[in-house]
Amino acid sequence: MVATITKTNFNFQKQKSLYKGKVRDVYNIADRLLIMIVTDRISAFDVVLPKGIPYKGQVLNQIASKFLDATSDIVPNWKIASPDPMVTVGHKADPLKVEMVIRGYLAGHAWREYSSGRRILCGVSLPEGMIENQKFKAPIITPTTKASEGHDEDISREEIIKAGIVSGKDYDLLEDYTYRLFEKGTAMASEKGLILVDTKYEFGKKDGQIYLIDEIHTPDSSRYFYAAGYEKRLSRGEPQKQLSKEFVRQWLIERDFQGKSGQVMPDMPDEFIEQISERYIELFEKITGDRFIKEDTADILNRIEENIKGFLSSY
């Protein structure tokens, strides 16, 4: 098997802290810079799965880097440089404690809620008679709280503002950025024969200005369908051909695991790990139009450390 990174523990000059998220290890340098190392960890239902996925970190980092560059005319973002295929270095901003989830289609979590009988999601009314994977008349925003650990929770615009999580003025700006980013992502996906079904954006503030932070339009934060055959599959009630983490979630659901108390994580065989890796690489090539170049993983931790130190010494 190809070597993977599931944890890091570097010590850089002027390092103040290390935050380990579900997938990313984030190093705070002098409260000025963040070094985000995208590991090969994979999470589902807010649980980190036990095995790393080969090349997943490289895929996510390089897709996010490309989309951050492509959308910098819409909203300022945190990226300064990508000194390694698995690393982005950028501005340190104070994260806003809300994730802006936007949906163009009734799929995934929204469909699971809808099929259980709910017709209001995050304060948004959903029409009767919709079917799974059907397109909304217009995209809807269904925010979630940004949990430090455990599950993110659905929340409405009104609840966010009332709780003081984000001011009304800032929330209006977040909504505007979210719609425009989704429109751009949808257009870029369409050019490659894909449908951007839903995604999420995270924002932070630095010196009073809102920045787009974290990843953008990756298979960990987004769901993509193939455009070819979409209408036919929809009319027949068939599952859509998609590129996202949803197939991992479905694999777990079929094995009675949804991250709930008392459930046991199923063992992931090497063949399934390889399938996941291939899906991530496929999405990279589909959405970017570039051929994926597998970086040498023989001494991967040393490579990352040296590339980061090289950047910091010259910044």
Report if residue 191 sits inside a domain. Answer: yes
225 with 285, same domain?
no
82 with 185, same domain?
no
Distances in Å between the alpha carbon of 100 and those of 51, 133, 253, 256? 29, 20, 25, 29
Where are the extended beta strands (E) located within 21-126?
Answer: 24-29, 33-38, 43-44, 47-48, 79-84, 87-91, 94-105, 120-121, 124-125
The CB-side HSE value for 35 (13 A sphere, CA atoms) comes to 28
Task: Look at the block and give the residue holding tokens 């980092």.
Answer: 61
Task: Look at the block and give the residue holding tokens 């700006």.
Answer: 173
- Residue 146 scores a pLDDT above 90: no
Number of domains in the chain: 2
- Residue 179 scores a pLDDT above 90: yes
136 with 239, same domain?
yes
79 with 117, same domain?
no
40 with 82, same domain?
yes
Report if residue 108 sits inside a domain. Answer: yes
- Residue 82 scores a pLDDT above 60: yes
Report if residue 254 sits inside a domain. Answer: no
104 with 232, same domain?
yes
- Residue 181 scores a pLDDT above 90: yes
Q: Tell me the average pLDDT across 215-236.
A: 94
Report if residue 4 sits inside a domain. Answer: no
104 with 118, same domain?
yes
Report if residue 252 sits inside a domain. Answer: no
285 with 202, same domain?
no
Domain residue limits at 73: 15-93+270-314
Distances in Å between the alpha carbon of 276 and those of 113, 247, 249, 296? 26, 9, 11, 19
Q: Each residue of 251-309: pLDDT tens digit?
A: 999 999 999 999 999 999 999 999 999 989 988 999 999 999 999 999 999 999 999 99
Q: What CATH number is attached to the domain comprising 38?
A: 3.30.200.20
Q: Tokens in use for 165?
A: 């999580």
- Residue 19 scores a pLDDT above 80: yes
Per-residue pLDDT band for 148 (boundaries 50, 70, 90) equals low
Q: Each residue of 25-65: pLDDT tens digit?
A: 999 999 999 999 999 999 998 899 999 999 999 999 999 99
Output the pLDDT for position 226.
95
117 with 26, same domain?
no
| First vs last C-alpha separation in the chain | 36
Report if residue 54 sits inside a domain. Answer: yes
Range of lowest pLDDT (66-70, 100-104, 148-152, 158-162): 148-152
* CA torsion angle 77 78 81 86 (round to 10): -110
127 with 194, same domain?
yes
Per-residue pLDDT band for 236 (boundaries 50, 70, 90) equals very high
Report if residue 250 sits inside a domain. Answer: no
Report if residue 2 sits inside a domain. Answer: no
66 with 148, same domain?
no
Task: Look at the block and give the residue holding tokens 């300064």.
Answer: 80
Q: What CATH number is attached to the domain comprising 177?
A: 3.30.470.20
- Residue 150 scores a pLDDT above 70: no
112 with 171, same domain?
yes
Strand (E) or helix (H) holding 183: helix 168-191
